[in-house]
Structure 1
Amino acid sequence: MSEQEYEFQAEIRKLLNILSKSLYQHKEIFLRELISNAVDASKKLDFILLTNRDIRDADEELRIEIYFNEEEKTLTIRDYGVGMTKNQLINDLGTIAGSGTEKFLKKLEEADQKESKKLDLDIIGQFGIGFYSVFMVAESVKVRTRHYSKDEDAYEWTSEGTGKFNITETDKEKRGTDIILYLNEEDTEYLNDYRIKEIINKYSKFVPYPIYIFELEEGEIPERGKIKEEEPEEAEKEEKVEEKEEKGPKPINKTTPLWKKSKSEITEEEYKDFYHYISNRYDDYHHVINYKVDGRVRFRSILFIPSSPTQDMLQQDADYGLSLYSKSVLIMKYAKELIPQWMRFVKGVLESEDIPLNISRETIQANREIMKMSNLIVKKFLRELSDLAEKDNEKYMEFWENFGQFIKEGIVTDVARKEKLKKLLRFKTSKAEDDELIGLEDYVKRMKEDQEEIYYLVGEDLNTMESSPHLGYYKEKELEVILFDETIDNFLMMNMNHYEIKGKKEEGEEEGSKFLRFSAIDVAEPEKEKEEEGEEEKKEEKEELPEEIQKFLEYIESILDEKIIKATVSKRLYGNPCRLANPAEGPSSSAQRAMRYWTQVQAGKEFNIPKKIFEINPEHPTMKKLIKFHKEKEDEETVKSIIIQLFENSLLAEGDLPNPSSMVPRINQIIEDLLTKRE
């Protein structure tokens, strides 16, 4: 048969023109695509052999061979799969553009310059056009193929990636396909054993057929005999098994992925090696979860919790997700749809035969199977953490120290799983000993019999909170208070209104739920049934205070003026002269700090702190003196300065004083006045 020339279909010509101009940073994916095609061809042959062995080379071993020749600048990928007929060569590699080609071109047109840098990884393989990626690195391509049918001839397809391709008969004897790339001068990096292995380990490490790499000398032709040693005589076979295994070629990939082995077969060393591979880290993992599901959805997965977080995990826009495989081929390195964002510290892999090889970022988001898998994965992960907390508290506390903030983030962002995540919280309390951290379940067990609320305080740091004026009353009454001191805790407590506990409603009845409300202890002391009282009753209640205290409160309000809502007396101040408290109907301290964070950090604007109630303890020695001085109109300037100073001390304790150094001149003046009076 003489050589015949054909023209590419218009869309394919456009596609080849784009690819040949090397728009992409990650050209290496051409090899991933060719190996995936070789795997598909081999799997099809495997399926045919189940019912028909009357084919060409029926006993030929299925494998993938890669040959590179530095002198001639050629890279050859060979498989022993189904091969192609002449019509398949014409249609599949040239004249008929599939819908995937059109979609790919449309995607390119829609993408902006920033997105286009990622397009090679995101969509080339997802539109069924992976073969054409060879023209990112090759100036010309030759495809030599022979179909598995015994009556089919062998053909050779050649093209320079321009507007035409040629087909002619060839002398290829073995079934399968050879794809020979004549590489561009600037792409000869792929004629290197190390570089080829690097790409295979990245994308195709777990394909189900062995991959071999061989270097050719100038003029040398890839031959099957070069790879496989001659079979020994029957009598010698048994004696030479071990020798043959040692001398024979070794595949560079693992044909049995770790996740396809049973748990009992996997060694600790294998888990470590796989963790290093999948996470690109070289420390030890903290915990591993091997999870297999065979039901309406089917998948196998291995999840790792690292030993510590990395900087990129703390960034919400960082790449994350499980490596998604289908039929042992990497489909997506970061499948974010499989785990929620708060689980971005988890490294791992999921493989499912139910996922199509050409799934895209767009279709994966609406894929019901993916959604079901995600729900099962997260459910298993939470159950595993719960079991770890119950059975190995020391190990769980190591996890909490490193990844507790992600659990808190989950409570804020993952409404569906909020209640389960609450049970995983750990925190310091006002009664905790040394570095003791407890959970909500422990807190509830330690509650007083008549206690109906969970008390908490959010602050800047533990040391400040432990000496907080808000704690005095609760320490006196021996009520335990949860202490939160991380920035995220402000957002956390905006999203935690109650904690559900299971218990019997009454003796003999079915189990029911009880909800304990979270109560911030920095809220102003409630006035007795304020809403139900009329103005007269409120006035009478205020008049119950001694006149000198009433007048002193009015004096405080005149000095602090617009800085506070009002000044009042509190019975909850033990050992402290005063405090700033939030009104019960106003935003909590957590909400205020969260708003301040978004206003200052995110928007770069000034945040005006909402006014609070200034509560005083008239029984405290400092306040007694100030009330006395005010009544006797003694040292009025000093009294005024001290009131302002006490107010700013309270602001400082709350972390709400924007410029603490502004207090220094006043403090110096107060000291000077006091020393002058002693002379």
Structure 2
Amino acid sequence: MSKEKGSLSIHSENIFPIIKKWLYSDHDIFIRELISNACDAITKVKRLSSLGEAHLGGKTDFQVKVILDTTARTLKFIDNGIGMTDEEVKKYINQIAFSGAEDFLKTYKDKGDIDQIIGHFGLGFYSAFMVADMVEIDTLSYRQGAQGVKWRCDGGTEFEMEEGSRTHRGTEITLHLGPDGETFLSEYTVRSTIEKYCSFMPYPIYFEVADKEPEKDKDGNIIITEPEALNDVLPLYLKQPSACTDEEYKEFYRKTFRDFQEPLFWIHLNMDYPFNLKGILYFPKLNTEFDTIEGRIKLYNSQVFIADNIKEVIPEFLLLLKGVIDCPDLPLNVSRSFLQNDGFTKKISDYITKKVADKLNGLFKSGREGFEKFWDDISPFIKYGSIKDDKFYEKIESILLYKTTDEQYVTIEEYLEKHTGKLEKQVYYVSDPVQQAQYVSLLKAHGVEAVILDHSIDSAFISHIEMKKNDIRFKRVDSDISELMKEQDQTDEETNKVEVENVTKVFKKALAKEDCKIQLESLKSEDVAGMIILSEDSRRMQEMMKRYNMGGFNPGMFPSEETLVLNKKHPLIQYILGHTNEETELLDLIAQQVYDLAVLSHKPLAPEAMANFIKRSNEIMKKMIS
């Protein structure tokens, strides 16, 4: 063929600035696009060979090779796929945005099943101009008697095309890296980018640095090593679940997520109808509360990495997990980086949610004891899912567990059944088992257990459960004094009113707290002098305001809702009741100590209050020996 020059057939002379600045948000995406195209080219020629329309002469060592030359400032992408004739170069390269893959599928769609073609969009090749000042194509078609073609373009609207020198079927694309491609002169950058986007592509991908000094042994001899592909051409998620071992699942997890702590369990997704979706979702072991935001689900399209944590496909609550999902049917836009708005993605999301719920139910029913061992790790995820997704909640409602202060795991129905006759549709809970131990002990003495709800999500979770089960009410152990703890008080109402007024006066003076609220009760236990209670509604409101920083929240913006409950049966309270008309140092000391001890069972003391408490405790002990 004679040398030919011409203009690219495009609808806008600004196509390259658009590609560089808008179409692809990340410059490293060009590596994904060019390797994807190379894999497509191999898939096409394999298909033609299977149909008897291409004769490969036994050359079926299909592979993609990437070669970096830092001296020449070039990056090559080489495949032994279908190649192109000069007419195909004119059609698929010179006419920007004409999709070669799409055209190929239309031609062969009625000739039986066809391997998935990765590249749906003709613009993928042009991503090379994000980093290259000049791009060259050297290609030879699979067709008998085909002539090689060489094409080059400097990123403008002009190209040159002439006879090529390639002697083997396939395509070699050479990028002459410019200032925007400086980063990709690094061996590490190119290698890690290939691993990021192409870890599961269907043909071996080899990478080498042309001008790198060869490794030598101690005698100066060059060490020859067999090249290793950077990718896994048949990733575990593409296999049938029945063909995978536990060790393979764990190894895939370690390799994919660089996490050497074993996952708790996993779900293998394998669906062919009504859409094609495969993948593995892992439930990781959570070391701390903050690990719950570290999930990562990698989304693939025909073994090509698209992005992490795409919320249109993956339900938000599942983003707490780690996993791989591959869906060739995703309705991607032209850059393959974003999903088009489509009801189809909602169906995928619903399917994944259902499979996760089914797995959890299966684990619960097949071995509750084992499920309970997982509960502490998976409960934040399940609670978050219950809040975010009604369908998920409906499926797992019956397996929601609550851990009691006795280290037992119960459903809400089991909890209520256990306390029949003692509690009326009421669930007591602790947010800090150590801090609230006194309240727990008092309830336990009367046959009532509390459940532990100490995760940051629990406040929202119990509100959600109360909304769903409108006859259930959660109460923190320090929100009121259960009727179970009280004795019948023989004091008449008028006398009790006077006692409360007198005791309140003592505590207001001793504590210098004008808003001090006092409640007198006869408790069955004589070991407790005083307790702080804060109504459930008031505390939840304050916690919500604090969490969302509503109205520039500060603790002083609300009047105190705390109530000091004093036990009339305790000797210290009896002493105060008998000396309310006196003003002595001892009376103040007792009132202050009773109050601080009650607060300590409710929440930590403020620094100054703690210092005063320690000093006062020492003073009281001195008085005991003086």
State the TM-score, normalized to the length of structure 2: 0.77
CA shift for structure 1 position 452: 3.2
**What is the CA deviation profile of residues 597-651 of structure 1, one whole-angstrom value per residue up to 9, with x for unaligned ones?**
4449x95744545423443332222222211222xx2346644564455344433
1:464 partner SS: coil
Amino acid at match of 1:42: I
The answer on 1:479 being equivalent to 2:448 is: yes
Q: Is the 8 A contact 1:455 1:521 kept in 2?
A: no
Aligned ranges for residues 266-415 of structure 1 at < 5 Å? 266-309=244-287, 313-315=291-293, 320-356=295-331, 358=333, 364=339, 366-392=341-367, 395-415=370-390
2:436 partner SS: helix
Q: Give the equivalent residue in structure 1 for 2:175.
A: 181
Q: 5+ residue gaps in structure 2?
A: 100-118, 213-224
Alpha-carbon distance in 2 for matches of 1:288, 1:34: 33
Q: Is the 8 A contact 1:524 1:613 kept in 2?
A: no
**What is the CA deviation profile of residues 23-79 of structure 1, one whole-angstrom value per residue up to 9, with x for unaligned ones?**
99964432221111122233334444565x345658653723325374655443233
CA shift for structure 1 position 327: 1.7
Alpha-carbon distance in 2 for matches of 1:204, 1:362: 14
Q: Give the equivalent residue in structure 1 for 2:543.
A: 593
- How many residues are aligned here? 584
Alpha-carbon distance in 2 for matches of 1:645, 1:248: 78
Corresponding residue to 1:259 among 237, 251, 261: 237
Aligned ranges for residues 507-522 of structure 1 at < 5 Å? 516-522=472-478
Q: Give the equivalent residue in structure 1 for 2:116.
A: none
Q: Give the equivalent residue in structure 2 for 1:581.
A: 533
Alpha-carbon distance in 1 for matches of 2:336, 2:421: 54
The answer on 1:68 being equivalent to 2:67 is: yes
CA shift for structure 1 position 572: 5.5
Corresponding residue to 2:570 among 620, 624, 632: 620
Q: Give the equivalent residue in structure 2 for 1:655.
A: 603
User: CA 1:287 to 1:10, structure 2 compared with 1: closer, same or farther past 3 Å?
Assistant: same
**What is the CA deviation profile of residues 399-431 of structure 1, one whole-angstrom value per residue up to 9, with x for unaligned ones?**
33444333344444444434555655555435x
2:599 partner SS: helix
Alpha-carbon distance in 2 for matches of 1:567, 1:77: 80
The answer on 1:453 being equivalent to 2:425 is: yes
Q: Is the 8 A contact 1:456 1:484 kept in 2?
A: no
Q: Is the 8 A contact 2:200 2:235 kept in 1?
A: yes
User: CA 1:475 to 1:347, structure 2 compared with 1: closer, same or farther past 3 Å?
Assistant: closer
Q: Is the 8 A contact 1:453 1:519 kept in 2?
A: no
Q: Is the 8 A contact 2:435 2:600 kept in 1?
A: no
Alpha-carbon distance in 2 for matches of 1:666, 1:249: 71
Amino acid at match of 1:264: S
Farther-moved stretch of structure 1 (87-96 vs 547-556): 87-96
Alpha-carbon distance in 2 for matches of 1:172, 1:284: 49
Corresponding residue to 1:429 among 400, 404, 426: 404
Q: Is the 8 A contact 2:416 2:423 kept in 1?
A: no
Amino acid at match of 1:592: Q
Corresponding residue to 2:521 among 566, 570, 579: 570
The answer on 1:553 being equivalent to 2:496 is: no
Q: Is the 8 A contact 1:74 1:183 kept in 2?
A: yes
Q: Is the 8 A contact 2:436 2:478 kept in 1?
A: no
User: CA 1:26 to 1:487, structure 2 compared with 1: closer, same or farther past 3 Å?
Assistant: closer
Alpha-carbon distance in 1 for matches of 2:355, 2:157: 53
Amino acid at match of 1:462: P
User: CA 1:21 to 1:288, structure 2 compared with 1: closer, same or farther past 3 Å?
Assistant: closer
Alpha-carbon distance in 2 for matches of 1:135, 1:382: 46
User: CA 1:175 to 1:7, structure 2 compared with 1: closer, same or farther past 3 Å?
Assistant: same
Alpha-carbon distance in 2 for matches of 1:668, 1:189: 64
Q: Give the equivalent residue in structure 2 for 1:211.
A: 205
Alpha-carbon distance in 1 for matches of 2:274, 2:233: 27
Alpha-carbon distance in 2 for matches of 1:360, 1:562: 66
Q: Give the equivalent residue in structure 1 for 2:436.
A: 465
Q: Give the equivalent residue in structure 2 for 1:2.
A: 2
User: CA 1:169 to 1:275, structure 2 compared with 1: closer, same or farther past 3 Å?
Assistant: same
Aligned ranges for residues 82-121 of structure 1 at < 5 Å? 82-90=82-90, 92-94=92-94, 96=96
Amino acid at match of 2:150: E
Q: Give the equivalent residue in structure 2 for 1:31.
A: 31
Higher helix share: 1
**What is the CA deviation profile of residues 432-479 of structure 1, one whole-angstrom value per residue up to 9, with x for unaligned ones?**
1xx5554545534533356432421334x31222212x752x334312
CA shift for structure 1 position 174: 4.4
Alpha-carbon distance in 2 for matches of 1:138, 1:484: 57
1:452 partner SS: coil
Alpha-carbon distance in 1 for matches of 2:415, 2:468: 11
State the TM-score, normalized to the length of structure 1: 0.71
Amino acid at match of 1:464: Q
Q: Is the 8 A contact 1:456 1:518 kept in 2?
A: yes
Corresponding residue to 2:162 among 152, 162, 168: 168
1:574 partner SS: coil
2:271 partner SS: strand
Q: Is the 8 A contact 2:466 2:474 kept in 1?
A: yes
Q: Is the 8 A contact 1:638 1:673 kept in 2?
A: no
2:134 partner SS: strand
Farther-moved stretch of structure 1 (275-284 vs 20-29): 20-29
Alpha-carbon distance in 2 for matches of 1:394, 1:217: 60
Alpha-carbon distance in 1 for matches of 2:480, 2:67: 78
Amino acid at match of 1:275: Y
Amino acid at match of 1:354: D
Farther-moved stretch of structure 1 (354-363 vs 610-619): 354-363
1:284 partner SS: coil
Amino acid at match of 1:578: G
Alpha-carbon distance in 2 for matches of 1:331, 1:663: 55
CA shift for structure 1 position 480: 2.3
Q: Is the 8 A contact 2:416 2:427 kept in 1?
A: no
Alpha-carbon distance in 2 for matches of 1:352, 1:255: 16
Amino acid at match of 1:621: P
Q: 5+ residue gaps in structure 1?
A: 100-124, 219-246, 501-513, 528-540
The sequence identity of aligned pairs, in percent, is 26
CA shift for structure 1 position 143: 1.0
